[in-house]
Amino acid sequence: MGIFDGRAIIVTGAASGIGRAIAEYLAERGATIGVFDLNGAGAEKTVAAIAGKGGSASAFQVDICDYAAVEKAIDSFAGVNGPLYGLVNNAGWDEARNFIDTEPAFWRKVININLNGPLNMTHVALKHMVEAGEGRVVSIASDAGRVGSSGEAVYSAAKGGTIALMKTLARECARKGITFNSVCPGPTDTPLLASFNESSGGKLAPALERSVPMKRLAQPADFPQVVGMFLDPASSYITGQTISVSGGLSMHG
């Protein structure tokens, strides 16, 4: 028996990277996964990978910035697999740019994906969880939202907002059986970091590796365990918390 047997959990941005690793980890432990991603083909590949290991998942090509689309997709997933138990807000996007070189259209895109997306997903999911009388929400934020990150001013602001959202909802829903927590990746070997590294002429990734006490970048496989801990039904007394997964680069006490 897995700890998530019979529980329906949505993971956004699960077509690749950290999101796919989380989705596969939860499915291996019995969860029924809703793979939400704008990349429909990638979402189907995640579903196939889960099914290949005997797990249960379904793909939804959805733009998390579109509230109506989010509502339709969540209602559809929960209608078949519910009640909805868990939500992992993982989807995100950014480009490395100095703030002074950005423009409002760029700000809107970054904020839409990294803050409005989790707002939309959480707002709809919360209605289902309140009705069910229990639930878990975990947002993949970023250490950029805790300590800042050069070239990521708007992204940092959006991720800081997501952390604040989780803390506020943890207070609002403390007596409803629903918990809200954040996981903050440090430098991670993902397509996003690869794009940043390319723009730096290949200098960024080696510099980050040197700065991390463990002397390596995080891998997608470094995150599912802590997400699973927050989602665990036994973790009902842990809410409003933010934990960094950064190889010791950032330490908060």
Q: Among residues 109, 111, 107, which one has the least CA distance to residue 161?
A: 111
Helices (H) and strands (E) in the chain, counts: 10, 7
Tell me which of 25, 67, 85, 155 is the catalytic residue.
Answer: 155
Active site residue 25: no
Check if the beta carbon of residue 143 is closer than 8 Å to that of residue 190.
no
Check if the beta carbon of residue 43 is closer than 8 Å to that of residue 107.
no
Pairwise CA distance, residues 66 & 38, whole Å: 11
DSSP string, 1-29: --TTTT-EEEEETTTSHHHHHHHHHHHHT
- Could you check whether the bond before residue 83 is cis, i.e. omega within 30 degrees of 0? yes
* Structure-token pair, residue 6: 């019979």
Pairwise CA distance, residues 181 & 38, whole Å: 24
- Per the document, the length of the chain is 253
Residue 66 CB coordination number (10 Å): 16
Pairwise CA distance, residues 74 & 72, whole Å: 6
- Catalytically active residues are 155
